Amino acid sequence: MRVREKLGLKRYRKTAKRDEEKRKILLELGLKKTEEKEKADFITLGYRRRKIKIP
């Protein structure tokens, strides 16, 4: 906390843009992790068939 105050960062966000390649890689990794965590939350039910009445 003290180091941040000395540097003048306080509560401001980082304004320097991240490298595009790094950004894409990090996004992909994050999406993969959330996908794997949420896989167990869902159950596959099979195919659904819908009946459509045509007047």
Q: Where are the domains of the chain?
A: 3-41
Given pLDDT bands bounded at 50, 70 and 90, which one contains residue 36? confident
pTM of the model: 0.42
The residue to which tokens 């994050």 are assigned = 30
Mean pLDDT for all residues in the chain: 74
The residue count for the chain: 55
In this prediction, residue 28 carries a pLDDT of 92
Confidence of residue 7 (pLDDT cuts 50, 70, 90): low
CA distance 25 to 32: 11
